[in-house]
Amino acid sequence: MEKGGNNFNKGSEKSPKKGPKFNIYWVYAFIGIALLAMNFLPDFRPSTKEISFQEFQVSYLKPGDVDKLVVVNKKYVEVYIKQDSLKLPKFTEVARSRFGGGLNPGPHYRFSIGSEESFKKDIDKAQEGVPMESQVKISYDERQSWFEPIFQLLLPIILIIGLWVLLMRKMGGPAGGSGGPGGIFNIGKSKATLFDKGTRVNITFNDVAGLDEAKVEVMEIVDFLKNPKKYTSLGGKIPKGALLVGPPGTGKTLLAKAMAGEAQVPFFSMSGSDFVELFVGVGASRVRDLFKQAREKAPCIIFIDEIDAIGRARGKNVMMSNDERENTLNQLLVEMDGFGTDSGIIILAATNRPDVLDSALLRPGRFDRQISIDKPDLAGRETIFEVHLKPIKTSPNLDVKKLASMTPGFAGADIANVCNEAALIAARKGKTQVEMEDFNDAIDRVIGGLEKKNKIISPEEKEVIAYHEAGHAICGWYLEHANPLVKVTIVPRGVAALGYAQYLPKEQYLYNTEQLLDDICMTLGGRAVEELVFGKISTGAQNDLQVITRMAYAMVTVYGMNDKIGNVSFYDPNSDQSFTKPYSEETSRLIDEEVRKLIDAAYVRTKNLLTERMEQVKTLAKELLEKEVLYQSDLERLIGKRPYDLPREHHLGKEGMTTDGVHPTDIINPSPSPANA
C-alpha cells in the first residue's frame, strides 16, 4: 500500500515563531573548543615574555643572569632572573610586578622545547667549561590549570548527556506514520498509515479490472459508512468486517488501495507483521492504539494486509506456539467484537491462507463476510489486459482477446508482468510499438523462464530432449481427454528446463477419472519414449514424475477414485501441521500399492501408444532437432490433424496446468513447478 501523509492533528493554526532552540551539536562544539584551548593555546602568565632558546643563551645564560630554570610539563621552560640582575636597566620591562610595584617573584621569560632530551643536550653544551656549582639549576614541574580538573570531571557527564539526547532524538522520529512522536517510549503505538480527506491516493476502482463481484461488495461497505440509516432503518446492522480471500497476485491489496482512493472516510492501512515486535506486549498495545485512533476518526475503515501473520489458529501445535502472537490475536478479537465494542469501524483484511486462520476470527460478528477473489476467467483477463495496455504503445493489430486466451491460470500480477516484459522485449529490439510477437515471447518467458540459446548441450543430450518432447506431443495428440499440444521447443529456458511444451486446456472445474488418467499418460510420454528409443532412461523426467505422483495420490486419497480404497478422502486442510496420519499402516501400505499399480498401468498404456506411433515420434523428433520450435500447424503438416479436435475457443496454458485456476494436484502442492525436459 502506498503511503500517504498523516492528518491526525485536528487544528491547523500556526504556532508563534520562537527563538533558536537548543541543539545537541552546541555541546559538541563547546567540548571541541575547550580541548583545543587546553592543547594548543599558550599557558603562561601575563607578565612572562616569550623568547627563543638562542636569545636565552646569548642574552641571559652567558652573562650569568639566570637564577634557575623550570621545565613545565615537558613542553616549555620558565626562566627566573636573579634578584640582583633585575636591577639592571635591561630588565626594566620585567622588573616590576603588576601587583603593587614590588619585584616580580614569578618567571620572567619562557621558551618552548621540542623534547626533554634535546633540551638537556643543548643546555649542557651551552654550559661547557662552567664549574658544576656555578651551573644553572634545572627543576621539573607538572602543572594543571584550575580549569583542567573541573573539565575532566564534567567531560564524561557532558558526553553521557549528549549521547542520551542524541539517542532520544534518533529514536524519536514519527512511528511509522502514526502521526505522533515515535521512539522507544512510543514503541507500543500503532504504525498504521492514515489516508484521510487531505490524502490523495491515485488508484481508483477503474484501475481494478476482472473483479466485478468483489468491487460491488467493497463499494457496499463504503456505502454502509456513508449512509448507515439506509440499512439500519430496516433493522439491519452494519457488518463488522470483511475478509478478502484469494491466491497471491489476484488483486486483494489493489482492491484495498482503490477503496482508500475512493472512500470518503478515514482509511487506516497496516500490515499484519507490523504488530509483531521484539518486546513482549507490543503487539497487543499496538492493536489497542490502532482502535483508539480509529474511534477518534469513526466512521472509518481499518485495512490489515496479510492478517495470517497474527491470525493463525491457536493451540494447534504446542511446540510452535507463540504467546506474543496469540496475545495480539486475543486483543484483536476483543477490539473487533468484545464487551465494549463501538460501532462505526469496519475491519477489512486480506490473506491468501484462510485455512490457517483462527475460527474465532472468522465467525460472524467479526469478519461477517468473506469476499473470494479468484484468478480471472477469460473475460476478466481481457479487461485486465486492457487496463495494463493503456500506458503501452501497442500495435494496431494487437488482439487482446487472443492474449487473454493464451494466458489461462494467470492472475492480475502475472498479466501485468507479461505486459511489462513485452514492452521491454520490444524496446530491446528497437521497435516503436509492442507487437503480438513480443507478447508471445513475454508469455514464454513468464511460463518457462529466460531463453538460453547459448547454453552448450551435446548432440546426444539434444537428441534425448527432442525425443522426450516428441513423446509428450504424440501422447497429447492421440489421447482423447489429454490437452492437445500447441507449441513444443527444445530451447533451454529458466534454471533447469531443457525443453518445454504448451498445451490447450479447457477451462473447467470438474474432472473425471478418464481425464486424469489420460493426463498421467501424456505426462509419462517423455520417460516412455526414452526407454523405447534409447533403451535407457535419463533424469529429464524428474518434474514429470513429481506431477504424476501428486496426481495419482490425489486420485486415491483425495478424490476416492480407487475401488480398493473406496469413497474416502484423507485430505484435511486444517491438519497440515499434524504429524499423525488419519489412517492405519495397513491402509498406508494399500495406498502405496494402488498408486504404484495406477502409474504402472498408465506407463504400459503410454508405451503401447508410442510403439504404435513410433514413426511419427521419429518424424517429430527430427523436425525438432532442425527447427527447435514447432507449432500446432507444424504438427498437422507432419502427422496430420488431431483425431479429437477441440474447439479453438479453448485456451493455451503451461505444462502441468489443465485448468484455468486450480489443477487437481494443487490441493497436494499449490504451486506446480515447470517442466524441466
Residue 608: which residues within 8 A CB-CB, separation 6 or more?
none
Q: What is the DSSP string of 119-136?
A: HHHHHHHHTTTS-GGGSP
Residue 573: which residues within 8 A CB-CB, separation 6 or more?
355
Residue 674: which residues within 8 A CB-CB, separation 6 or more?
447, 448, 449, 494, 497, 500, 543, 654, 655, 656
Contact call for residues 280 and 324 (beta carbons, < 8 A): yes
3-state SS of the chain: helix, strand, coil percent to 5?
50, 10, 40
Angle between helix axes 525-534 and 614-627 (nearest 10 degrees) is 100
Exposed e or buried b for every residue in 62-91, given b needs 16+ CB within 10 A?
eeebbbebbbbeeebbbbbbeeebbeeeeb
Q: What Rg do the C-alpha atoms of the chain give, in angstroms?
A: 43
The number of residues making up the chain comes to 677
Of the candidates 413, 417, 473, the one whose C-alpha atom is nearest the C-alpha of residue 443 is 417
What letter does residue 574 receive in the DSSP assignment?
G
484 appears as a binding residue in the annotation: no
Cis geometry, peptide bond prior to residue 299 (ω within 30 degrees of 0): yes
156 appears as a binding residue in the annotation: no
Contact call for residues 471 and 463 (beta carbons, < 8 A): no
Contact call for residues 557 and 587 (beta carbons, < 8 A): no
Give me the phi and psi of 456, to 5 degrees please.
-80, 115
Residue 50, C-alpha cell as written in the block: 616569550
Extended beta strands in 57-188, E state: 66-72, 76-81, 109-112, 137-141
Contact call for residues 270 and 191 (beta carbons, < 8 A): yes
Q: What distance in Å separates the CA atoms of residue 243 and residue 433, rounded to the nearest whole number?
A: 41
472 appears as a binding residue in the annotation: yes
251 appears as a binding residue in the annotation: yes
Q: What distance in Å separates the CA atoms of residue 482 and residue 517, rounded to the nearest whole number?
A: 9
235 appears as a binding residue in the annotation: no
Of the candidates 142, 113, 121, 125, the one whose C-alpha atom is nearest the C-alpha of residue 61 is 125
Contact call for residues 198 and 5 (beta carbons, < 8 A): yes
388 appears as a binding residue in the annotation: no
Give me the phi and psi of 180, to 5 degrees please.
-105, 175
What letter does residue 234 receive in the DSSP assignment?
T
Dihedral sign (CA 524, 529, 535, 540): negative
149 appears as a binding residue in the annotation: no
Which of 9-16's residues contact partners 24+ apart within 8 Å by CB, and which partners?
A: 9/179
364 appears as a binding residue in the annotation: no
544 appears as a binding residue in the annotation: yes
Contact call for residues 620 and 610 (beta carbons, < 8 A): no
In the residue annotation, 469 being an active-site residue is answered as: yes
Catalytic residue (choose from 335, 463, 469, 530): 469
Q: What distance in Å separates the CA atoms of residue 594 and residue 557, rounded to the nearest whole number?
A: 10
Exposed e or buried b for every residue in 161-178, given b needs 16+ CB within 10 A?
ebeeeeeeeeeeeebbbb
- Partners of 357 in beta bridges: 312
Q: Which residues are known binding-site members for ATP?
A: 246-253
Q: Which residues are known binding-site members?
A: 246-253, 468, 472, 544
Q: Which residues are known binding-site members for Zn(2+)?
A: 468, 472, 544
Residues with catalytic function: 469
